[in-house]
Chains A and B, each alone.
Chain A
Amino acid sequence: GIQVEQSPPDLILQEGANSTLRCNFSDSVNNLQWFHQNPWGQLINLFYIPSGTKQNGRLSATTVATERYSLLYISSSQTTDSGVYFCAAPVQGAQKLVFGQGTRLTINP
């Protein structure tokens, strides 16, 4: 089945820095989602992005489906951006999302 890999596993930055998180997937996908898991455990939808680029405030995401990767950009990081970021892709023909292992982002004041 599809494999989803994220890098880096951990990222520590100072407030105000920019960051890029990467998600590679082994098969072609018709959807790719990015989530932020907050310190209380809830997974918050950031982007649904099967291809192209989307922006939402300081966050943007780009998926290059032909090369099987997606990038999440966070600009001018704030301490509230801390948490774990997951990407996930659906398994073809099955109602199931496969998650990467996540990137733990820590933004220090």
Chain B
Amino acid sequence: DVKVTQSSRYLVKRTGEKVFLECVQDMDHENMFWYRQDPGLGLRLIYFSYDVKMKEKGDIPEGYSVSREKKERFSLILESASTNQTSMYLCASSLSLGVGAFFGQGTRLTVV
């Protein structure tokens, strides 16, 4: 089975902190994604990566950056956390979207 693992299930950070959310997949997938999920807004794509060191902006990249130094790991970085970044963050990977995506367990981030 594909396994996508996010480093934390719950995280509380202070405004202005630099925050790293880590995601690791074990299936040698080319593509990795970061989504955030908010009530009433559904799942929105922040960034995705289709190869090591390659990244593309999604629908809501402002305030975020990403890093993909190794194929199995995709990190989401909040350079200076703000309260409006309080959300559920979901990482996913796929060999190709034509054959489906697999999600991690999610990280519920609270910025205070």
* Bound CA–CA A99/B36 (angstroms): 12
Q: Give the B interface residue count (CB, 8 A).
A: 26
The interface-forming segment of A16-24, A27-35, A59-67, A69-77 is A27-35
- B45 on interface, CB distance cutoff 8 Å: yes
CB distance from B26 to the nearest CB of A (A): 15
B contacts with A: majority SS: strand
Contact between chains at A99 and B97 (CB < 8 Å): no
Contact between chains at B97 and A90 (CB < 8 Å): yes
CB distance from B43 to the nearest CB of A (A): 5
CB distance from A55 to the nearest CB of B (A): 17
B-contact bits for A86-101, CB 8 A (1 contact / 0 none): 1010100001110111
- B108 on interface, CB distance cutoff 8 Å: yes
Contact between chains at A99 and B43 (CB < 8 Å): yes
- A56 on interface, CB distance cutoff 8 Å: no
Contact between chains at A95 and B102 (CB < 8 Å): no
Contact between chains at B31 and A95 (CB < 8 Å): yes
Q: Given A41-B108, A43-B90, A102-B42, A96 and B103 touching (CB < 8 A)?
A: no
Chain A interface residues toward B at CB < 8 A: 30-31, 33, 35, 40-45, 48, 86, 88, 90, 95-97, 99-102
Q: Taking A41-B108, A45-B101, A45-B102 as given, write out 6 further A-B residue pairs in contact, using a Cβ cutoff of 8 Å, ordered by the A residue number.
A: A33-B100, A41-B106, A43-B90, A43-B92, A95-B31, A95-B56
